Structure 1
């Protein structure tokens, strides 16, 4: 996780549309045959002199016919094959959310209006469970799920994890006529930068859209404004992701899910080459609890901190490139406070005087805040103990904290 960047994230804007937006999903497509025909006409046209006889023109006709025959016999690309394998497993999700405007009063009551959101999702199992982003369905109890064949089913939101922006739906209609094809989840820990990836979803309501790219980087820390906590170990990709792609799958070249397309970094609200997906290993860990209980409990240490940088390290009397997490504040009566962790202290000029630096968890080195968040989220549960190795004024000590459940903000 070298060279991580702190990223200001604009979560993928949820596409708000009128109920009549369904016309956008019916935009025409240029068939492969038409496209081949146009290309061939452009590439195969030859200028023939008026003085040429029929014999001189014959080879030109034969050349065109030969080219057409060869084109038709070319095997479909791996991208085409993967798309045909998975397109029936990717769905469009429509949710209706009521909002109240307290500034407009009609007959003594605030004005209430309904907005429609469009997002994406994918089939998780043969029992009718659909995976999507929490922000796609936030505030809704029931949604519509549309398959590529045009069939639409009602579904209940049965589980949400706002911290990792994951939600699971349960189709409630009779879907016995639908051939559900669950997508398998790959091991996202095996991914490497540069691997080709595929995103499928419904950008701007354009259903069943595929884009491709590569893994640009792994292990990003994605700020989640909705929950107040960051999502760890996120995949960065340059595959085009736009409003409406939220909740759709990011796939490897085996057609397996490696992540859920969740957010983009952009100054315009539209794709600018940097997209983010919550990794499949996070989905594997959280989905069973969401299906069974409707929620997932996250372990919580009760500290706020920042990655140690040379300026802070030197003020603490440490080496310039000393690694760890500088504890800026601790939550009163939280796990860290009970364990004896001390927060930063400052002089009258608000300059750092002292403070604990977390350098290891259970013996695993902590280089920065990303390491701390990732270790706790992937290795610990509520009620577990964790041994914090602390550097306090140059002295190394071990403190043991018992993790509590993370509370939602706001």
Structure 2
């Protein structure tokens, strides 16, 4: 080894040592920052857990409980603005609410809040507004998923509860932006469960929760909470003759959310089971005309061409008679059971199809045809998209 190389050796060693020290310092800083972030997140989780434990214990007055429910949720709720092109460029067309579903930036809202939007803006509790991308929508359940890019600190996801555990009289809370008044809390009770709400394409959302908590324009898409601050529904609609709240509000159940939303995130759509029939609930007058022993079940009036029902041999009506003063097509199959579950009316059939089946499943429909009982196997298809005018 030459004298020149020998003299440079300490310099190489020093440079290498410096690089190693810089790398180690950078790693230490990174680890420190990550640790501090994780510790901060852990402290926040512990605080939230303590609050939930207190809610479960029932400690504190009703007012204190209400405050805790709100405090556990406020950072998870967002305001949503639907903008479309107008005379002055992009203009606000509709507004509503939503809530953070996960740490990946997915946000749940109603489909009707963002329908036909050209630009969607999401505002967080601290006032920051960001643009959102629509990644999945389902008009039939009136659910949609948006995605935002923002800091992890802002993405405080909700805790989903089980709406099937709700009972009439349970305390519930609605959080949203009625009339643009962001982060408003209202309180009420579950008025009834298992309601049906008309939606796109002549179909209905089934298993809807009816509440008396004040829900007004702007609340749509916001969370319905139980007394543990868990999301048990998405506030969706009101029933009113004036357009203002009159004591009857509706929310899409969390059970349906848990079925639909993962598919919206993964595929951008949700496939609903489909039979392909239309008809009427059996009334006493229909039962009398068709010589039925009882007035329950669903009368098939028409069968969609090339539908699962047609392929299975479900029979539609074949004669017109006057029933209760109006013409009606009779003679079709009367569905009384689906997979041995009683069908009292259409809602029973729709609820079973929505919550208990998937496209491709085989079901058994028990029908009454010309006084005989038939069991007909139907392979379920995918409900066609709503027709646009």
After TM superposition, the score normalised by the length of structure 2 is 0.79
Does residue 179 of structure 2 align to residue 201 of structure 1?
no
Q: 128, 145, 162: which one pairs with 2:105? A: 128
Distance 2:129 2:90 in 1: 24
**1:391 corresponding residue in structure 2:** 368
In the other structure, the counterpart of 2:303 is 330
- What's the offset of the Cα at 1:386? 1.2
CA offset at residue 334 of structure 1? 0.8
Residues 153, 175 of structure 1: 8 Å contact kept: no
The CA distance in 2 between the partners of 1:99 and 1:307, in whole Å, is 44
Distance in 2, matches of 1:351 and 1:84, equals 55
CA distance in 1, matches of 2:108, 2:263: 13
Change (3 A) 1:387 1:84: same
The answer (yes or no) to whether the contact 1:142–1:157 under 8 Å persists in 2 is: no
Aligned-residue offset at 1:154: 1.7
Match of residue 268 from structure 1: 242
How far off is 1:409 after superposition? Answer: 2.6
Higher RCO (Cα < 8 Å, 6 or more apart):
1
Paired position in structure 1 for 2:127: 150
Q: Which of these residues, 175, 178, 181, is aligned with residue 151 of structure 2?
A: 175
Counterpart check, 1:184 vs 2:144? no
- Deviation, 1:402, is 1.3
Aligned length: 324
Q: Aligned match of 1:116 in 70, 93, 113?
A: 93
Per the TM alignment, residue 364 of structure 1 is displaced from its structure 2 partner at its CA by 1.3
- Bigger Cα Rg: 2
SS of residue in 1 equivalent to 2:316 = coil
Residue 87 of structure 1 corresponds to 74
Displacement after TM superposition at 1:273 (Å): 0.7
| Structure 1: runs of 5+ lacking an equivalent | 1-72, 101-110
Q: Distance in 2 between matches of 1:277 and 1:89?
A: 18
Secondary structure, aligned partner of 2:154: coil
Question: Hey, what's the Cα distance between the residues in 2 that align with 1:334 and 1:358?
Answer: 17
Gaps of 5+ in 2: 1-59
Residue 99 to residue 228, structure 1, CA distance change in 2 (3 Å): farther
The structural deviation recorded for 1:142 is: 3.9
* Partner of residue 342, structure 2: 365
Q: Does 1:356 align with 2:333?
A: yes
Change in 2 beyond 3 A, CA 1:84/1:357: same
Question: Given the superposition, is the C-alpha separation of residues 313 and 99 from structure 1 closer, same or farther in structure 2, using an over 3 Å criterion?
Answer: farther
Aligned-pair Cα RMSD in Å: 2.0
Q: How far, CA to CA, are the matches of 2:62 and 2:266 in structure 1? A: 44
Provide the C-alpha distance between the structure 2 equivalents of 1:343 and 1:112, rounded to a whole number of angstroms: 51
Q: Which has the higher helix share?
A: 2
Q: 1:236 matched to which residue of 2?
A: 210
Find the aligned partners of 1:358 and 1:347 in 2 and give their Cα distance: 19
TM, length-normalised to structure 1: 0.75
Whole-Å separation in 1 of the counterparts to 2:118 and 2:258: 23
